[in-house]
Structure 1
Amino acid sequence: MAAPPGLERGARLAPGSAVVTAVPVRCLCALALLCGSGGAAAAPHVFLVQNSGWMEPFYSDPASPFKPLVTELALAVARPGEALVLAAFNQSQPNAPSPRALVSTTVGGDTRAAVTRALAGLDTARKPGGALADTDLGEAVGAAMTQALGGRDGIVWLVTNNRNSPNNDQATAARNREFYRLIHDGGKIRTALAFPLRMPVKGEHFRANGLMVYAFAIGEGGARALDGLLASGAVRKIITGPPARLKPLDRDTVRLVPRKVENAPGVTFAMGSNGVLRADVAPHASSPTAKIGWNIENTMYPYTIVSASLSARSRLGGENRTVTLGSTRVHGLAPNQPQPLGSTLQLPVAQLPGKWSVAALQSAGSAYVLPGTIEVHLAEQKLALSSGFRERMAELFPGDPLPDIFTPPARIAASTAVLPIEVRVHYGSGPLLAAGAGLLALLAAGLGAAYGWMRPRRALVTVEDEQRTMHARTGTVQPIYDKAGNEVARLKTTLFGHQLIDLREGAQVRLGR
């Protein structure tokens, strides 16, 4: 990179400066071993901290908040049990590798002390021969992915002053383009965010107004971990401003928020706290079609959607339906400036269980939930960097052509946003109570029949003018003997009474008196 004026050739560090001797870049591979120690859900973090010549005021200004910022951000995003590598980077030279690992550990109780101690000893680096070191952003990010992460998923954090000029190349715009091609074309980088920060610092030879923190999610695991960090507010505790999205620009680009609903009979809509649209449907609703007035919001800060064509579909209960939109074009949709959008949405009533179905009875008193999505597709999408962001970048990084590099790739001409939706049918307890009552009645009848079957029953039998009382259970057959001990008949007992069978000829046997 280009060093500050007067410090390029043969310059020396200010008195009292310290040169950090750290672990060379090849030892970053230790993180590959650490990655497995935090469990399947853990996301390893690699923090790359620039210490080349243009960073001199961030290190030499006594009031610089630079090192405390790095410390607090690392401890905010790297959770206990996750792997963490802190490394300084500039540009590799013979016998001066870059990046250089300062800390390689699993986050625990002593991590703060280790990070603070490592940063306290860090200062601007020099080439072999004395000149202040240059900068190669692409080299640093590439080493983090291939060596520190060892090809695994994770998050790479890059803390820089946005000056990318390897070998003291003054064509910083061209070098920035190379860096951003790495971001946009690199398949492993799933998400790329930039956090521009105001940080006025003044050194002995140079001053700066701002700092940039990049977050690169590597692989699907890194993307999920970064999304979780943003949703939890862990990053916002340290960096309060919104991140500028560099990638992706072809998905999750807009958001739909219900503004007004003209309900069909028995149907209401609401947005849940988890961002899921909820449609509450009464069991008697037969063909719910609702007109919904949305606010369509641009989620691609700092880009404005100059123009795009709109279409939408709903996927519910195995049905794929077109959502009729009030407008099929959007113009000048800037971040945080929603525009109204009307639509007509049909719900899959035929797929909802009837009130006497098993599913309805199981859901009685709560709700039967049918999950689905509404997909919004933007075609012929044209994006432009917002003027407010350009002005802010020019203020924080005067003379830096970086905003021109924020222009999205020409191939990004379409995007899709998915809104989760839940259709919830609330079944009353009446059918369940009726079914329960019927079941109880059936059970009582069964118990009565069982009791009648098992209960011994009394039978009066007259044998040769002698009355006898016999007790028999349903389904049994008992022999009957005369006074001489000879079997003269048999008594058969059924659920409906008694009868004599196998009556011997001439025997004096009858039922009753």
Structure 2
Amino acid sequence: MKAWSALFARCVVRCLAAAVLAGAPAWAWAIPQVFLVQNSGWMEPFYSDPQSPFKPLVGALAGSVVQPGDALLLAAFNQSLPGAPSPRALLSFKAGKEPVQDRVTQALRALDTARKPGSAALADTDLGEAVQAAIGQALGGKPGIVWLFTNNRNSPNNDQATAQRNREFYQLIHGGAAITRALAFPLRMPVKGEHYSANGLMVYAFAVGNEGAGALDALLAAGSVKRVITEAPARLKPLDRDTVRLAPRKVENAPGVRFATAANGVLRADVAPDARQPTARIEWNLENTMYPYTISSATLSARSVLGGENRPITLASNRVSALAPGKPAPLGSTMTLPVAQIPDKWSFDALKSAGSAYVLPGTIQLHLANQKLELSQAFRQRMAALFPGDPLPDIFIPPARVQASTAVLPLEVRVHYGMGPLLALGGAALALLAAAGAAAYAYARPKLAHVTVEDELRTMRARPGTTQPIYDKAGQQVARLKTTLFGHQLLDLREGAQVKLGR
């Protein structure tokens, strides 16, 4: 185990160094992916059957989901014994221009079923050991994706109690905090070998950390997995969120309100700025997204969180039952948008958004309480056909503690403001500017004043706000002339002086 983990660690160091040299932050490089390929005795037909599509499947999937810049580790696993470590690294590199599928296929070409050291007996299987090693040693507890290719027979030390061993394996998945998202792809793969035959293969995808979950979701959304595996994945974890999907199918709008669904799935409410009671009745399709589970029963409640306000949404029914995966059920609701959070048309936010829309982001939250899940009969039958005699379907039943879940639908309230208030405000501002300009011109322009001193008419020029002395014929100051925007005034008139305004 130390050898293969050290090899992967060196690959990670090289990837980080390349990111730094390229000027990118360390967290910007892609999520590493680990591919664990079982080669214990129970896998014998997958290796010995000349028509087996097992190895080509691993290569094709790696080639589809691993992108240039991704760190990849390929390892074979069975059960670790002294002298025979497991998992064992087969390949470790940072994906570049060379096709990933070719490199993985080449590394798998010589891989065969493993035997116990010093013995002709075929190696046993320990699924939990392999997954824990991938998370703890290969990824070092950091975010990543672990892919596991197995025939679903967990039998360490040739333990025939595979049901108990599988139960322990699923406890690791459901109870481990490191695994944030887990999917299972049961595939039909009939193979026949010298000792055994098999009908199916299970491919697991385990996301480690929130970044790993985001990367796995992105691969699924991009169709990277579906290009190789067309079967729908069975969800193992999480079972307490994103369990249902809301899709509006009919909206009865109130005056001034219009609802629509955007291309990105966001529910958009277009509201007139003068709407007094923006309320609408929305008919939804409620869809179970938890394949392969049927929601046998649950209690529903809903709220809108918008602009700092948390409001209940009235539902036509507060219970759901027998909701099978992918089959929608109608659900009516009435929701009211918070009028207090819509800016007044004369507010700064409204004026800033004039001619466009003021956007108020929020969410609609649907909560399922007292949730009871059942494994669908179709999935049980499929598993029984692919893995005959395997009690695994009973282990797919979710933990008893998972009794609630929440679905979140993004919501945007868009308030459309016309140009009228902005134009009115602009006109008022222009008028004020014109008045201010006129006042400034009047203030700066000199005014003429006619003053009579000892029967002599004089013409004086002065700007508003100034005061200037007035002298008699002998050169003595006899008064002062003060000029304002509204006229002139004589100040400090000397006693007996012959000075007056005008003629």
TM over 0.5: yes
C-alpha deviations, 1:199-250, integer Å up to 9, x for none?
A: 3444455443332221111122222222233233332333233211001111
In structure 2, which of residues 481, 488, 500 is the aligned counterpart of residue 498 of structure 1? 488
Write out aligned runs for 1:94-493 (5 A).
94-110=82-98, 112=100, 114-128=103-117, 129-463=119-453, 468-493=458-483
Task: State the Cα distance separating 1:187 from its structure 2 match.
Answer: 1.7
Residues 329-359 of structure 1, C-alpha deviations (whole Å, 9 max, x = no match): 1111011110101112121112222111222
Q: Distance in 2 between matches of 1:255 and 1:320?
A: 21
The runs of at least 4 aligned residues of structure 1 exceeding 6 Å deviation read none
Q: Deviation per CA, 1:49-93: give whole Å up to 9, x if none.
A: 222233334334444443343233334333433332221111112
Once structures 1 and 2 are overlaid, which stretch shifts more, 418-427 or 201-210? 201-210
Q: Using a 3 Å threshold, how does the CA distance of structure 1 residues 359 and 127 change in structure 2: closer, same or farther?
A: same
* Residue-by-residue CA offset, 1:288-345 (whole Å, 9 max, x unaligned): 3322111111010110111112222222233322222111211110111101011121
Deviates more, 1:331-340 or 1:403-412: 403-412
- Alpha carbons of 1:64 and 1:499: their partners in 2 closer, same or farther (altered >3 Å)? farther
- Shift, 1:279, TM fit: 1.8
Deviation at 1:159, TM superposition (A): 1.7
Distance 1:462 1:204 in 2: 134
The separation in 2 between residues aligned to 1:82 and 1:467, in whole angstroms, is: 98
Contact 1:34 1:83 in 2 (8 A): no
**Which letter does structure 2 place at the counterpart of 1:183?**
I
Distance in 2 between the 1:183 and 1:61 partners? Answer: 31
Checking the alignment, whether the CA contact within 8 Å between 1:90 and 1:134 is kept in structure 2 is yes
Query: Does residue 74 of the first structure (1) align with residue 66 of the second (2)?
Result: no
Alpha-carbon separation, structure 2, partners of 1:154 and 1:333: 33
How far 1:29 sits from its partner (Å)?
4.1
CA shift at 1:447, angstroms? 2.3
Q: Which runs of 5+ in 2 are unaligned?
A: 20-25
Secondary structure in 1 aligned to 2:232?
coil
Taking a change above 3 Å as real, the CA distance of residues 102 and 72 of structure 1, as seen in their structure-2 partners, is same
Query: SS where residue 425 of structure 1 aligns?
Result: strand
Q: Which amino acid aligns with 1:357?
A: S
* Structure 1 stretch displaced more, 138-147 or 409-418: 409-418
Structure 1: stretches of 5+ with no match in the other structure: 1-20
Q: Given residue 364 of structure 1, which amino acid in structure 2 is its aligned partner?
A: A
Instruction: Supply the AA of the counterpart residue of 2:159.
Output: D
Identity %: 72
Alignment length (residue pairs): 493
Q: What CA distance in whole angstroms lies between the structure 2 residues aligned with 1:257 and 1:88?
A: 44
- The range that moved more, 133-142 or 364-373, is 364-373
Q: 1:386 to 1:512 in 2, by over 3 A?
A: same
1:87 to 75, 87, 101: 75
Amino acid corresponding to residue 132 of structure 2 in structure 1: G
Q: How far apart in 2 are the matches of 1:191 and 1:33?
A: 26
* Closer, same or farther: CA 468–72 of 1 in aligned 2, 3 Å: farther
The one-letter code of the counterpart of 2:410 is: P
Given that 1:35 and 1:44 are in contact with CA atoms closer than 8 Å, whether structure 2 keeps it comes out as: no
* Comparing 111-120 and 134-143, the one that deviates more: 111-120
Distance 1:459 1:120, change over 3 A: farther
Give the Cα–Cα distance (whole angstroms) in 1 for the partners of residues 458 and 236 of structure 2.
102
Partner of 1:5: none
Q: 1:356 to 1:345 in 2, by over 3 A?
A: same
Which has the higher mean CA deviation after the structures are superposed, 407-416 or 391-400?
Answer: 391-400
Return the letter of the residue paired with 1:123. D
- In structure 2, the CA distance between the partners of 1:233 and 1:454, relative to structure 1 (3 Å rule), is farther
Post-superposition Cα deviations, 1:90-128, rounded to whole Å, max 9, x if no partner, equal 111211111112223333234625434323333332221
Whichever residue aligns with residue 103 of structure 1, its letter is L
Q: Is the 8 A contact 2:7 2:92 kept in 1?
A: no
Q: Secondary structure in 1 aligned to 2:47? A: helix
C-alpha distance in structure 1 between counterparts of 2:90 and 2:463, whole Å: 91
Would the aligned equivalents of 1:32 and 1:152 in 2 still touch at CA under 8 Å? Answer: no
Tell me if the contact between 1:383 and 1:408 (Cα under 8 Å) persists in the aligned partners.
Answer: yes
Partners of 1:234 and 1:464 in 2: CA distance: 106
Deviates more, 1:24-33 or 1:415-424: 24-33
| 1:299 to 1:480, Cα distance in 2 relative to 1, 3 A | same
Q: Bigger CA drift: 334-343 or 499-508?
A: 499-508
Task: Provide closer, same or farther for how the CA distance between residues 353 and 483 of structure 1 changes in structure 2, counting only shifts above 3 A.
Answer: same
Amino acid at match of 2:43: M
Distance 1:465 1:117, change over 3 A: farther
| Matches of 2:401 and 2:2, distance apart in 1 | 42
Give the superposition deviation at 1:466.
5.2
Q: What is the distance in 1 between the residues matched to 2:149 and 2:104? A: 15
Check 1:487–1:201 CA distance in 2 against 1; reply closer, same or farther (3 A cut): farther
Query: 2 CA distance for matches of 1:483 and 1:205?
Result: 138
Q: CA RMSD in A?
A: 2.6
Given residue 93 of structure 2, which amino acid in structure 1 is its aligned partner? T
Distance 2:407 2:148 in 1: 28
